[in-house]
Amino acid sequence: MFQRNFSLAQVTSLGVGGPADYFIQPSNVDEIILAQRFALDKNLPLTIIGYGTNLLIRDGGIRGVVMRLAEPFAKAKVKSNFLTATTGCLFSSISKLALHHNLSGLEFAVGIPGGLGGAAFMNAGAYGGEIGPLIHEIEFVQNGEVGRWCKEDFSFSYRSSRIQKEQHMTIVSQVVLELLPTNKSIILEKMNDLQTQRRSKQPVEYPSAGSTFKRPTGHYVGPLIEKAGLKGLRVGGAEVSCKHGGFLIKTGESRACDFLKLISIIQKEILEQFSVELEPEIRILGED
């Protein structure tokens, strides 16, 4: 069931990072429960990842068990205006499924890479939309048992959720989204517009981990980095995108330490020049 010393660089968009001691990609809830119980019984840390599109894993890798919720655990269905999906579903695919059923609310997700689980974990959003307000119910596995949160139990804020606070105990397995019936042509027009904006403003032609930093109050990250003269700055194969300063891209051979050093340089320069602290939006996991 588990793979030993699995290279996590294979399952992240940046293609960097060290190994996992134990690695598993479950295909159903029973396998999630078994893996969680294994970690509990062996007193091993358990780390949950998805498609690795907003993730930087350090070069030393991750100790204990790494569970990847992705393709094998991807099922979705629609009933009335409720879309139910397992957390291994691609977020963009869920957006297209909603379109197929004339349901609005997920247009912003059409170009966001990564899985539904990661989107719920970080309350993903773009262009004025967020997943948090759309979630009607969450199914999770905790201590080897299945439980549910209803809307009143959630605690979503900007790029944050209750799931993050309880991530060492809670594995989200399924999400129910409440959407709004709308004319398909209106939904499609908005999705096409957002796709055009995304391609014109973001470095989609290079490997990246998405938006690197959270937006600080009263500022936008891209313009701050541009004003600081940091666009195009490189450490090894890690580079600040010239297209959008808020993205770090992989332009050649690189290691996680290159990206970590670049992040540190950016944070230091922005703090010194503008007295603004930048907090990473990407998840940074593992050992050096």
| Tokens coding 141 | 């596995």
Active site residues: 159, 211, 281
User: Could you count the other beta carbons within 10 Å of the beta carbon of residue 143?
Assistant: 11
Calpha distance 217→233 (Å, rounded) = 25
- Which residues are CB-contacts of 234 (< 8 A; sequence separation ≥ 6)? 240, 251, 262
Task: Look at residue 113 and give its three-state secondary structure.
Answer: coil
Q: How do beta strands 283-285 and 55-57 pair?
A: parallel
According to DSSP, the residues that pair with 203 across neighbouring strands are none
> Which residue(s) pair with 117 in the sheet?
none
Q: Are 81 and 98 in contact (CB under 8 A)?
A: no
Helix (H, G, I), strand (E, B) or coil at 157: strand
Strand runs (DSSP E) across 69-227, as ranges?
A: 76-79, 82-86, 103-104, 125-126, 129-130, 135-142, 145-150, 170-178, 180-181, 208-211
